Structure 1
Amino acid sequence: MTQKELKRTKPVHTQKYLPGLDGFRAIAVIAIIIFHLNPQWLPGGFLGVDTFFVISGFLITSLLISEYDKTGKINLPAFWLRRVKRLIPAVLFMLAVVLTYTIFFEPDIILALKNDAIAAIFYVSNWWYIAQDVDYFNQFSIAPLKHLWSLAIEEQFYLFFPFILYMIFKLRKRQYTFIIFFIVSLISLALMIFLSSTTSSTARVYFGTDTRLQTLLLGAMLALIWPPFRLKQKVAMRLRTLIDLVGVLSFALLVVFILNVSEHDTWIYHGGFYLISFVTLFTIASVVHPSGFFAKFMGNPLFVAIGKRSYSLYLWHYPVIVLLHRHFVAGQLPYYVYIIDVVLMFVFAEISYRFIENPIRKNGFRAFSFKPNQVSRFMRLALILLLAVPSLLLLSGQADNLGKNHNTQKQTSFTNKKTAKPKTPPADENAKHVDSKHLAPLLIGDSVMVDIGNVFQKSVPNATIDGKVGRQLSEANALLTSQYRDFAKPNKDVVMQLGTNGAFTEEQVNQIIGDLGDAQIYFVNVRVPRDYEQNVNDSLKKAADKHENVHLIDWHKASSGHPEYFAYDGVHLEYAGQKALSNLIIDELKKQHSKN
């Protein structure tokens, strides 16, 4: 390969459209949508957001460099105005629709949504969620605007990055730009590694602008060495083949990551995001080269059509999914719900793209008119004003009372310590009949235990119940040894309902069994529509098969085909589910006692 083959043309004065890049955007947004529809379908679909970050860093830097090469300067006000016209109308329209819908149909989430919407308007959603210690992957909360964290990071980047790049160029330090960006990206990477190693919360690591800057800067670095508007249309066959091969292989590797990476993989915070984003660079380099066959494939009409609407699709897909799915049981959704999801998100995205985004980007305020004879412009204005009224009422707090009337404070714990020492159930004269009022088990669990606490206590008044929202099985060891040592004796019953919030190791299960000695131990398995469900249930079954004093209460099987048992999230229980699980536990306790 000669220097002549690799040589780029001189700067041109027209910015070419990059269809392959739009095609790549389509892949990214589809991955994100599939992940949010059901994380088990595509565990690493959330990496599509990082693809957007890399593309954004690459494209914005390319545009700024192209402008500077043509004019010798960067018109920052013009750049920011273009970003405002491109991004803000669409997000405000989406917010207005969601807020209006919420007032009329979902008043119970008004209070939480108001704060999220205010943060979204000022593009600080990511820092707001950090302050609230929000878990991006938590499916048990209703937050239809949570996806706007990534747009907040991009807007913050757009606000400061062009000025910094311009100052580097004006100070005649352009030759150091790449190394500056590289060093800052490594600092961002180091900060992510440090924070992920020193805190148990992922919010600060996942949402932080500073920790996510690494991927944006990787895209910017690619633009410095591979400016898309200066690449040659015709290159030697050998070079074109190499570019295509690099693109195909890197894209295939990205697909492997998306199919296999999980939200639970800690390595992604220890350099994984950087590595995956680095691989993304090679795909971008290939899809923007005008000579490549891979670029032409990615730039096919279908991908381009989706890619052009990727921003609209990203805006609309998440509120559609969240607000629709909350009326069904997660993990037991009828197939038609997913069809409705896809139809609605594409319909709203198309309306936004054609009726809001494009007209305002091209015409600014001239996209609106008070004259009825200018039908489309008049209707656009009427629609915006119609949505603005309820939206402003919600944002200003005028709808707070409506939200308070529908808001119920969910119980976060249930503790019923009847005695310092557990009672021993009296021997029943009829060995085949066990009165539940004579049972005195210890029950330890998470939010599901909180759900059944009152119902179970009515049937088993001598039970000692300790449930807490968010509790992990790993926390049970300390609890048993510090507060419930008296239950680690023969003829005592201990029911462990844990696993809703994540998987655990065999060693942790064995430690619990060891701590409880010869007590009769009952593990309740889980029904949770998450990828760790099978691992949790397999681990508990293995423990029950291995130890004579360990019994499995198969809630997963008993609850199958009973959506009426569950709240929308498919885990927490309605009254019918509370009764069913309580009775299932009681029946197993009675069964074991009747054997003795």
Structure 2
Amino acid sequence: MRIKWFSLVRITGVLLVLTYHFFQAKFTGGFIGVDVFFTFSGFLITALMVDEFAESNQFRLLAFYGRRFYRIVPPLFLAVILVLPMTVLVDHDFVTNIGWQVAAALGFTTNYFEIATGGSYETKFIPHLFVHTWSLAVEMHFYLLWGLTASLVAKMSRYRSASADEALVQFRKLLITLATLLATGSFLAMNLGAVGLTDFSPVYFSSVTHSFPFFIGCVLGILSGIRYQLTAFKWVSQHCPRNVAIGLMILSFSGLVILGDRLKFDRLQTYQQGLLAATLLAACMIYGARLLHDQTPTISEPRWMTFLADISYSVYLFHWPLYVIFSHRMSNWVAAILTTGVSIGLSALSYYVLEPVIAGKPVHIFQCNVNWKKLRLPTMVAIVLLGVNGESVVKAAPPVSTLEQNLWISGIRQDVNLIQSTHTAILANTGPVTTAGEKTKVHVPTGVSIIGDSVTLGTRDYLGQHVANSTIDAEGDRTMNLADQVLIAQQRNHRLRQDVVICIGTNALDGYRVQIMKLIDALAPGHRLIFMTPYNAQAQSDWNSSKLAVFEWTLPAKYKYVTIADWEKVAGQHPAVFAGTDGVHFGGVHAGDVLYAQVINQALKVARTKPCK
């Protein structure tokens, strides 16, 4: 039994995700499309479980796993082997560690692989081609757990009941209790686990913290059902006006779009309220579609709607790696359009031809019957050729990207320099003491102290050679409050030089104003302060990094010893420096090294015409 208008739920989910990936800087919360899919999967799977138990007084676990396998694995395998040859279109860095990515995708462990490797859709480095399969991992974990749970509950219900009707009641009661407990536990784990995080990927990717949408869908599936509804829900389905059902779907859809526009991946409220709100709206939309199905017995879904719904899963699989590849070869709009077209074509091939053939079902293509016997030879040849190509791509893939390698080497050299400078400072401060037993007054050393984040770390070697008499302390993911700690530590150890350059801001937190003022207050007399404005090619005016740059420009008027180095402006004038990067880092790109050093040196010239603090 196919429920009409469920297609709109699937289409909504895939549209939210595609819009987020294509226009991440503008539609910042579209990742909730995944929660729409999760909620719908929980609803549909559990409603079908109830139907099966109502009809046969049992639940066939192996048959359930088999259906999930044939629906999930073939298009995933097809996506992997078709994408790998296309990596020739992009820089070699894009296949970094590709073997582990493929293994994680096919082994349904991508979510924990991404947690372990620091992956994210909003990664600061080269995006993983199969990062999006994290959701398949969570979904597969749900199917394994919930299928086994339903099987055990079915056996228990039969054992404890005297009749089939009583067993069905027991089956529903036990499932809804377990689903409610699991949904509550998962949501609380996300809500509490997100506290104190600056990178929310661990709670977003985890099967433990992000499975509550499935179980909320399960509760709805048990209550409203498909064939076998509870009496109260059956009465509502029979008496609910059509316009009410339509209105519920429209309001739910509108709410999801608003959330997609407002939520941000790096905000705590997204994980404490936002994802739950998206899940509840998805549940309302699902129930609205369920009601509308019963109110439109003579109306059929448009063919385009069922087509898009049928291929939505495969479109999700294909679109991300294709978009990553295309977007680094052409403009974003062209890449988005091409990605959508190619994804739909490959998804239709997978859903209407390959998947049914693999499952042993006949296929009709242009009035011709196609079966496995006819497709066996060309399919096997294609798989072998693609497999050989994929193996060569995996073997040739570098273990780390050029940018990551550059950062690691720079970090090691920085640690060596820090040890040497600390040793020198210790020797310098063991000199004569006064009669009172105190050390002689330590003067502020001349030169430049640069305190930066991963952008600075990536160009550290070049800076050290082209910013005279400078020391550099840079670290990935450093925020302004951490820069304050570095500054204080260097002052305490008498290593902070006269001109202090703060190259922090891309990872700006909400309290950036307070953090900057604490840093200014902590700066001892005898120093000048230079703030380097942050640059992110994707940043919008409401991003913290953008607002921080605006605030930094107000400081020189209040503090004569403060100067601004306008990296934001200069970097924006040279987009070629960031070609093929994340729009923030340029480590290893010589032109970027040169520009970065020039901006700092120009600001130092201006700063040295001003007084010290």
Q: What displacement does 1:306 show?
A: 2.1
Q: What displacement does 1:200 show?
A: 5.5
CA deviations over 1:525-553 (Å, ceiling 9, x no partner): 12212452422322322334443322222
Judge conservation of contact 1:442–1:494 (CA < 8 Å) in 2: yes
TM-score normalised per structure 1: 0.84
Q: What displacement does 1:123 show?
A: 1.1
**Residue 498 of structure 1, aligned match among 497, 504, 508:** 504
Q: What displacement does 1:40 show?
A: 1.4
The residue type equivalent to 1:150 in the other structure is S
The residue type equivalent to 1:584 in the other structure is V
In the other structure, the counterpart of 2:533 is: 525
For the residue of structure 2 that corresponds to 1:211, the secondary structure is: coil
In the other structure, the counterpart of 2:253 is: 251
**Residue 92 of structure 1, aligned match among 77, 84, 93:** 77
In the other structure, the counterpart of 2:602 is: 587
User: What pairs with 1:507-526 in structure 2 (closer than 5 Å)?
Assistant: 507-518=514-525, 519-526=527-534
Provide structure 2 residue ranges, at least 5 long, that are not aligned to the other structure. Answer: 158-169, 364-368, 429-444
Alpha-carbon spacing, 1:296–1:469, altered in 2? closer, same or farther (3 Å): farther
User: What pairs with 1:98-117 in structure 2 (closer than 5 Å)?
Assistant: 98-102=83-87, 107-110=92-95, 112-117=97-102
Judge conservation of contact 2:121–2:127 (CA < 8 Å) in 1: no
For the residue of structure 2 that corresponds to 1:171, the secondary structure is: helix
**Percent of paired sites with the same residue:** 24
**Residue 286 of structure 1, aligned match among 278, 282, 288:** 288
Q: Distance in 1 between matches of 2:326 and 2:297?
A: 37
Judge conservation of contact 2:5–2:293 (CA < 8 Å) in 1: no
Q: Distance in 2 between matches of 1:245 and 1:121?
A: 41
Q: Distance in 2 between matches of 1:106 and 1:275?
A: 39
Q: What displacement does 1:290 show?
A: 3.9
In the other structure, the counterpart of 2:582 is: 569
In the other structure, the counterpart of 1:391 is: 390
Alpha-carbon spacing, 1:233–1:181, altered in 2? closer, same or farther (3 Å): closer
For the residue of structure 2 that corresponds to 1:42, the secondary structure is: coil
Q: Which moved more, 1:376-385 or 1:53-62?
A: 376-385
User: What pairs with 1:72-83 in structure 2 (closer than 5 Å)?
Assistant: 72-83=57-68
For the residue of structure 2 that corresponds to 1:185, the secondary structure is: helix
In the other structure, the counterpart of 1:10 is: none
Q: What displacement does 1:160 show?
A: 2.6
CA deviations over 1:389-411 (Å, ceiling 9, x no partner): 2334566xxx15x6369867222
User: What pairs with 1:139-150 in structure 2 (closer than 5 Å)?
Assistant: 139-150=124-135
Judge conservation of contact 2:89–2:325 (CA < 8 Å) in 1: no
Q: Distance in 2 between matches of 1:22 and 1:591?
A: 62
In the other structure, the counterpart of 2:456 is: 449
CA deviations over 1:536-572 (Å, ceiling 9, x no partner): 3223223344433222222121122412222521111
**Residue 336 of structure 1, aligned match among 334, 337, 344:** 334
In the other structure, the counterpart of 2:398 is: 403
In the other structure, the counterpart of 2:432 is: none
**Residue 217 of structure 2, aligned match among 200, 216, 219:** 219
The residue type equivalent to 2:523 in the other structure is L
For the residue of structure 1 that corresponds to 2:270, the secondary structure is: helix
The residue type equivalent to 2:504 in the other structure is L
User: What pairs with 1:16-415 in structure 2 (closer than 5 Å)?
Assistant: 17-102=2-87, 107-110=92-95, 112-172=97-157, 173-174=170-171, 175-197=173-195, 202-230=200-228, 239-291=241-293, 299-326=301-328, 333=331, 335-361=333-359, 363=361, 374=374, 376-392=375-391, 399=395, 403=398, 409-412=405-408, 413=411, 415=414
Provide structure 1 residue ranges, at least 5 long, that are not aligned to the other structure. Answer: 1-14, 424-437
The residue type equivalent to 2:503 in the other structure is Q
Judge conservation of contact 1:20–1:296 (CA < 8 Å) in 2: no
For the residue of structure 1 that corresponds to 2:189, the secondary structure is: helix
Q: Distance in 1 between matches of 2:147 and 2:399?
A: 44
Q: What displacement does 1:131 show?
A: 3.1
Judge conservation of contact 2:47–2:221 (CA < 8 Å) in 1: yes
Q: Which moved more, 1:174-183 or 1:94-103?
A: 94-103
TM-score normalised per structure 2: 0.81
Q: Distance in 1 between matches of 2:297 and 2:573?
A: 47
Q: Distance in 1 between matches of 2:240 and 2:560?
A: 68
Root-mean-square deviation (Å): 3.3
